[in-house]
Amino acid sequence: MRLFRISALWAAVAAAVGVFVLLGYFVNFDFIQNIRLLFMRWAALLAAAALLVGLANLVQVHWRKLSLAEEGWIYSAILILAFLVTLILALSFGPDNPVALSIFKYMQLPLEAGLMALLSVILLVAGFRLVTRRRDAFSILFLATALLVMFGTGPAVTEGPVTVVMRDLRAWISQVWSAGGARGIALGVALGATTTGLRVLLGADKPYGS
């Protein structure tokens, strides 16, 4: 009786919940809306709980690395230490405590901003070698468009008719071609996302395992 296997039960539960939430977008019956809201509240709670499980998994991974003295164990040690210090501070004094906020301000923010700066260099390097690595018309078009948009976006040394033309050109590329292309891609992505969701609802894709 494969129909009544445990995996089928999970699939049925997932499909039923999904159908109610989905119907809530289209049908305005109180019953469906209430159930939808209830499921969404549960989802929000479960997502928060899942974050805790994920963090426990993160610590587990790095603890194992540390205990086995694998390559890069020192970074794992720093991560676990930083995690514990932040957790204890936040739990003891609250996340809006000045100490917790200073950890954010003086550690997390500069680190993430540094990664963003690194990204700008990475993108420039990628742009530099794009034509060398992938020599086709699309790559040249890609870079040429990027250049035109940058010329139109960046400040000019002096304001003049060339600047005005470049800004108009930038607006034309950005608001006509780029927006049109992006909308086309967004439509395709929406279609793909819909079919993916429907496959999950049908139980054909089981991201929750079987």
Partner 1 sequence: MTAVDLQGLLLLFAFLGLMLGSAAIGRRWPATFRQISAFEGLGKAIERAVEAGERVHVSLGTGSVIGPESAPAFAGLAALTRIARATSMSDRPAVVTAGDGAMAILARDTLRSSYGEMGASDLYDPTSGRLLGPTPFSYAAGLPSVLSNENVSVHMLSGFYGFEAGLAAEFGERARAFVIGGTNEVQSQALLYAVAQNPLIGEEVFASGAYLGAGELHKASLRAQDIIRIGLIVLILLGVVMATFEDLI
Partner 2 sequence: MCGKPNPGGAEECVHCGARLKPLEAGGKPKDTEDWLDRMREEAAEPPTDSDSSEAVPSEPEFELDFDRLRAGEEVPGQVEEEVPEWLQRIREKQAEEPTDIPTSGEPAPEEALRAAVTRADEVQIEQTDLAPEGDLRPASEPEPTVESPDWLEGAEDQDAETEEGLPHVPALVGGAEESADAELGDLGLPDWLGEIEPLEDEEAPRDAPDLAPATLPNWLEAMRPVETFRSVVEIESEDDQAVESVGPLAGLSGVLLAEPVVAMPRTSSVGSMQLDVSERQYAQAELLHRLVDEEEREAPAKPKRKTRLAVFRWAIAAIVLVAVSLPIVTGAPSFALPGLEPRELGALFNLVEQLPGEQPVLVVFDYEPGYAGELEAVSGAFLDQIMARGLPLASMSTRPTGSALAMRAMDPYADRHGYENGQGIVHLGYLSGGPTAVQLFAFNPREAVLEGFALPEELKEAGLTAWDTPVLDQVQALSDFGMVAVITADSESARVWAEQARPNMGDTPLVVVLSAGAEPLIRPYFESDDPKVGGILSGLPAAAAYELRNGRSGLAQERWDAFGAAMLAAEFVLLAGISYGLLIWWRNRSLA
Q: Which residues bind partner 2 (CB under 8 A)?
A: 1-3, 5, 7-8, 11-12, 37, 40-41, 43-45, 47-48, 95-96, 101, 104-105, 108-109, 112-113, 115-116, 120-121, 124-125, 127-132, 135, 140, 143-144, 146-147, 150-151, 153-159, 164, 167, 174-175, 178-179, 182-183, 186, 202-204
Residue 202 lies near partner 1 (rule: CB under 8 A): yes
Stretch that binds partner 1, among 20-28, 94-102, 158-166, 169-177 (CB under 8 A): 20-28
Measured from the CB atom, is 67 or 97 closer to partner 2? 97
Do 41 and 29 form a contact (C-beta atoms < 8 A)? no
Structure tokens given for 148: 């035109």
How far the first Cα of the chain sits from its last, in Å, is 15
Contact residue for partner 1 among 119, 162, 165, 171 (CB under 8 A): 119
The count of residues in the chain is 210
Measured from the CB atom, is 72 or 160 closer to partner 2? 160
Taking CA 104 as the corner, what is the angle to CA 92 and CA 51, rounded to the nearest 5 degrees?
A: 70
128-to-17, 117, 143, 174, 200 alpha-carbon distances in Å: 49, 17, 9, 22, 41
| Ramachandran bin of 29, using left for φ above 0, alpha for ψ from -120 to 50, beta for the remaining angles | beta
Q: How many residues bind partner 1 (CB under 8 A)?
A: 65
Q: Which of partner 2, partner 1, none sits in contact with 166, Cβ below 5 to 8 A by type? A: none
Measured from the CB atom, is 41 or 102 closer to partner 1? 41
Do 201 and 22 form a contact (C-beta atoms < 8 A)? yes
Residue 50 lies near partner 1 (rule: CB under 8 A): yes
Residue 170 lies near partner 1 (rule: CB under 8 A): no
Q: Where are the alpha helices (DSSP H) in 68-178?
A: 73-93, 98-103, 109-133, 137-153, 161-172
Do 125 and 150 form a contact (C-beta atoms < 8 A)? no
Residue 111 lies near partner 1 (rule: CB under 8 A): yes
Measured from the CB atom, is 94 or 192 closer to partner 1? 192
